[in-house]
Chain A
């Protein structure tokens, strides 16, 4: 049973446009959510996070939105750039996540392709 789900394995967006990556979770105990970016042959790199006490967090071109009632979060990248092409992982943690106090539960990732 997947507690964190990313239902789109891949997403293609034109350079300059907005990229929207989605993530759903089932565990209501999750209270901290993160997005990671991963290039081939490298480890995941932390991008942005949000605590459950907020519904939005912004960092430059990246904004994460959290809808607790829908158990849904999304990552917006605007404008999209060629260097944004990577696999993006949604992750969550909280009491009962199964990963310990700081362990993260990951989705399976969305491969974002930015078209020139």
Chain B
């Protein structure tokens, strides 16, 4: 079991550039989550997919943020255009379901927008 795989581990970009974060969930897991961690707000849920379908995106901060899950083994979180306040650690997590199953987290992508 390779765990949840995120890439890149670190991303440094300039304000205004497009950023794409990638996630490969654990094989067989039906649910996928994107979280953001900042000092001020802690771990915040951005969006959640079940069987590749977005279920709840109420945590996505702005229209600059979008997420896709084209198949069961891949998801992306895109920020366009990026801003310095987007700097944070972005975590992807997956869960086998059903409800009340623990989430398994990747090691995160540290994003710095200058």
Instruction: Name A's B-contacting residues (CB within 8 A).
Output: 31-32, 34, 36, 41-46, 49, 51, 89, 93, 98-109
Contacts and interface: CB of A to CB of B under 8 A. Distances in A.
A44 to B, nearest CB: 5
Interface of B: 4, 31, 33, 35, 42-45, 48, 50, 55-56, 58-59, 91, 93, 95, 97, 99-108
B55 A44 contact: no
26 contacts: A32-B100, A34-B102, A36-B105, A41-B107, A42-B107, A43-B105, A43-B106, A43-B108, A44-B43, A44-B105, A45-B105, A89-B43, A93-B100, A98-B45, A99-B45, A99-B56, A99-B59, A100-B45, A102-B33, A102-B101, A104-B33, A106-B43, A106-B44, A107-B42, A108-B42, A109-B42
